[in-house]
Structure 1
Amino acid sequence: MTTDDPGPDAGRARSFGAVAAAYDAGRPTFPADALTWILGPGRLQILDLGAGTGKLSKVAASLGHDVVAVDPSEEMLALCRRVPGVDTMVGAAESIPLAHASVDAVLVGQAFHWFDHARALPEIARVLRPHGVLGLLWNNHDTVVPWVRRLHRAIIGEDFLAGNDEFDPMPILLQSDLFSMVETARFRHWHDLDRNGLRQLAQSHSRVAVLTESRRESVLEQIDAIYDSTARPPEPLRVPYFTNCYRTRPSDLANYHRTLDAPLAPPL
């Protein structure tokens, strides 16, 4: 799903299917070091929840893990199915179509802020094994760089100026009695794009996707101007990112509740 949207908004949440191709082409991947930090050694059974087009699933599979990707958007999963070694299922965080205690890790990249947390956290705790891990990841633009700051402002709009464009999951995790201590880490990486790729990056964000055609074209004209004044073709434009990571494990209470659960999730 997406990093750009810190609040529940059903219209924006449903916008991703229509821009699945742009999302897959324009959005960055995740650094392998971030997943290694979350998952540790060994081959694990992993659920990529809110998997979208499989950006995170692809990295996890490349590290040798067994991955099932779950997302509510059939359009997004159609692209995710192209990733070798990844199984896909249509489903939601609030009703995960997996048996209890069936995975070693749940990864959520760019999607946790879309969840109904009161319903999703018990579901995540239910499918995790007793010593499993929940890892949340967000890619965020490095807005210290002036042209990236202009890019971010063009995409995010007023929320950027108000300073509230990034979602912080820490209060939700700390208030939950289903998870234990939360650890954090940050990793830097870059995403190389050409002119059309930078356009697709902008189009993949829900704030742009739900605009009227004229307003969306105005945003894309700003994106083109940023590319033309910054890029040095034929070299790609390197977009710098920070990946913010959160790692936590099921609490003793969650492990106790899991033993009382039915073996299968409610039907979707």
Structure 2
Amino acid sequence: MTTNDPAGDPAAARGNAARARSFGAVAAAYDAGRPTFPSEALTWILGPGRGLQVLDLGAGTGKLAAVAAELGHHVIAVDPSPEMLEVCRRRQGIDTMVGAAESIPLAHGSVDAVIVGQAFHWFDHARALPEIARVLRPNGVLGLLWNDADTVVPWVRRISQVMQGDCQTVTHSGGGDRFEPMPILEGSNLFWMIEQARFRHWQDLDRKGLRQLALSHSAVAILKETRREQVLEQIDQIYEHTARPPEPLRMPYLTDCFRAHPSEFANYRRTLDSPVAPHL
């Protein structure tokens, strides 16, 4: 894993911001093409119980929020994209709010957990981490998750290379330079007891699903139409040479997870700013 923080490079930060904004335009493809997250991973982060107040930050279309709701938790999904949240609202048991990680529209100490699926690398960490620590309760937990296609498999590696194209140096991508949150969490002094785990799962895809998966990646979404169609044609060719219909194409994923808890410093800062909100 790499240890670069995009927020430290203004040019990289601007590029990341443009790519992050591209997701709203492909919300339907994102929801149809992206994999869910394994429930085992979220249970590792949240624990085996039920009924926690959980904030899914950078929730997108609610892939991760849906897993948390299915596990019996009360979920608020926050995302800056109204288009992504419009898809998220179709899911059961999830409240939604437009908002950003750098300015979370919730009260101090109002949630038991903050979970972030496939989005932490887009945040301005210098601003987002104090906000996350602010809304967490003293014994709360921060969980970060990333699904990465397992590019040890040759055809998966070819798909990843085609989707990345000229963007091989992206901050975080399946099979590319993976984002490393540990130094950022440790350097903030706001989180401690940082742990890491990995889970394996699979996503079944047909030809259309594989196309939608490609369209949901920012490196493809930002391409001009002619170039984007060329990429999708290459994706179709890989499907033709790999799939064995009527059996689905099984895309293997590795889910990297990180969990951390607010430090004593974070809890002290929160009490100075405002009293902790009561349980709902």
**TM-score range normalised by the length of the shorter chain:** over 0.9
Which of 241, 257, 261 does residue 273 from structure 2 map onto?
261
Contact kept, 8 Å, 1:39 with 1:105, in 2: the verdict is: yes
Residue type matched to 2:38 in 1?
P
Any residues of structure 2 matched to 1:149-188 within 5 Å, and which?
149-160=157-168, 164-188=176-200
Instruction: Give the 3-state SS of the residue equivalent to 2:192 in structure 1.
Output: coil
Q: Distance in 2 between matches of 1:41 and 1:89?
A: 27
Contact kept, 8 Å, 1:17 with 1:73, in 2: the verdict is: yes
Q: Alpha carbons of 1:105 and 1:230: their partners in 2 closer, same or farther (altered >3 Å)?
A: same
1:173-217 deviations in Å (ceiling 9; x for gaps): 121100012100000000111101100000000010001111111
Instruction: Give the 3-state SS of the residue equivalent to 2:252 in structure 1.
Output: strand
1:237 partnered with 2:249? yes
Q: 5+ residue gaps in structure 2?
A: 1-5, 7-11
Partner of 2:261: 249
Q: Alpha carbons of 1:193 and 1:209: their partners in 2 closer, same or farther (altered >3 Å)?
A: same
Q: Distance in 2 between matches of 1:164 and 1:144?
A: 12
Q: Distance in 2 between matches of 1:148 and 1:225?
A: 13
1:68-108 deviations in Å (ceiling 9; x for gaps): 00000000000000110000000000000000000000000
Instruction: Give the 3-state SS of the residue equivalent to 1:126 in structure 2.
Output: helix
Instruction: Give the 3-state SS of the residue equivalent to 1:196 in structure 2.
Output: helix
> Size of the alignment, in residue pairs?
259
1:35 partnered with 2:42? yes
Q: Alpha carbons of 1:159 and 1:182: their partners in 2 closer, same or farther (altered >3 Å)?
A: farther
Instruction: Give the 3-state SS of the residue equivalent to 2:251 in structure 1.
Output: strand
Residue type matched to 1:123 in 2?
E
Contact kept, 8 Å, 1:46 with 1:65, in 2: the verdict is: yes
Q: Structure 1 stretch 40-49 or stretch 158-167: which is displaced more?
A: 158-167
Instruction: Give the 3-state SS of the residue equivalent to 2:27 in structure 1.
Output: helix
- How far is 1:158 from its partner? 4.4
Q: Structure 1 stretch 151-160 or stretch 70-79: which is displaced more?
A: 151-160
Q: Distance in 2 between matches of 1:201 and 1:117?
A: 27
Q: Distance in 2 between matches of 1:259 and 1:146?
A: 52
1:142-182 deviations in Å (ceiling 9; x for gaps): 00101001011111234548975321111111211000121
1:92 partnered with 2:104? no
Q: TM-score, normalised by structure 2?
A: 0.89
Contact kept, 8 Å, 1:106 with 1:134, in 2: the verdict is: yes
Q: Alpha carbons of 1:161 and 1:12: their partners in 2 closer, same or farther (altered >3 Å)?
A: closer
Q: TM-score, normalised by structure 1?
A: 0.93
1:222 partnered with 2:234? yes
1:132 partnered with 2:168? no
Instruction: Give the 3-state SS of the residue equivalent to 1:182 in structure 2.
Output: strand
**Percentage of identical aligned residues:** 75
Partner of 2:9: none
Instruction: Give the 3-state SS of the residue equivalent to 1:181 in structure 2.
Output: strand
Any residues of structure 2 matched to 1:42-53 within 5 Å, and which?
42-43=49-50, 44-53=52-61
Q: 5+ residue gaps in structure 1?
A: 1-5
Instruction: Give the 3-state SS of the residue equivalent to 2:116 in structure 1.
Output: strand
1:66 partnered with 2:74? yes
- How far is 1:41 from its partner? 2.5
Partner of 1:147: 155
Partner of 1:3: none
Q: Distance in 1 between matches of 2:256 and 2:110?
A: 26
